């Protein structure tokens, strides 16, 4: 490709970007809550909700974007921040740890900072079940000689005991997920804190 061809291609790219910017849906507002519903849903269709393993962008269908928009308005949580995410497998909106913190504030809960406690237990102490048996087998194959857990506690003003949840590796470990493979202590902390916030806000509980 000659320099002239490169310059022409760059000019064409800039023109396409400018055209895309000029075609943003009408009815958007700087405050997403004040946007018209169709404009909000249209924007959610355009913004990738995730990327596959090859780096290709994944987009919501129109009906999924509508469900996402309705849910965000109902929860008063932004779809453009790290407060919620859309699960296309279940067509449900999940609330992140950051989103639960926001919900707690908006609902008037006064909370302290989360406290974390690292735990271990013998595999023999795990309540027997078919799924846990498979998890234990997998953990042993990976070199674990005990089950590891993380308990999160959050004090809530007006309640005599803190909200608490313990996440165990045997319950949550995902062997095919890179974060669980390399950062499982961090992921246990995320799981325990997220479920503790669920107890406080009531969101995502089922």
pLDDT tens digits, one per residue of 73-107: 999 999 999 999 999 889 899 999 999 999 999 99
pTM: 0.77
pLDDT tens digits, one per residue of 8-45: 665 565 555 444 545 778 888 889 889 999 999 999 99
Share of the chain above pLDDT 70, in %: 86
Distance of alpha carbon 169 from its chain centroid, rounded? Answer: 19
Angle at 128 between CA 118 and CA 115, to 5 degrees: 20
DSSP string, 53-117: TT--EE---HHHHHHHHHHHHHHT--TTTTTEEEETTTTEEEEPHHHHHHHHHHTT--B---EEE
* Residue 39 DSSP symbol: H
């Amino acid at each position: 490709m000659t320099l002239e061809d490169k310059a022409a291609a760059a000019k064409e790219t800039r023109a396409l970007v400018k055209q895309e910017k000029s075609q943003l849906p009408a009815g958007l507002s700087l405050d997403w809550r004040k946007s018209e519903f169709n404009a909000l849903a249209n924007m959610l269709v355009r913004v990738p909700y995730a990327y596959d393993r090859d780096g290709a962008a994944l987009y919501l269908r129109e009906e999924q974007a509508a469900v996402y928009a309705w849910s965000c308005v109902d929860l008063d949580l932004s779809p453009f921040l790290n407060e919620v995410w859309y699960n296309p497998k279940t067509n449900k909106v999940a609330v992140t740890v950051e989103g639960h913190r926001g919900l707690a504030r908006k609902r008037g809960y006064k909370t302290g900072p989360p406290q974390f406690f690292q735990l271990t237990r013998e595999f023999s102490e795990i309540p027997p079940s078919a799924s846990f048996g498979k998890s234990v087998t997998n953990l042993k194959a990976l070199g674990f000689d005990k089950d590891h857990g993380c308990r999160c506690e959050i004090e809530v003003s007006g309640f005599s005991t803190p909200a608490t949840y313990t996440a165990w590796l045997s319950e949550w470990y995902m062997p095919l997920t890179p974060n669980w493979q390399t950062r499982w202590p961090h992921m246990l902390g995320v799981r325990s804190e997220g479920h503790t916030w669920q107890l406080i806000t009531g969101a995502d509980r089922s």
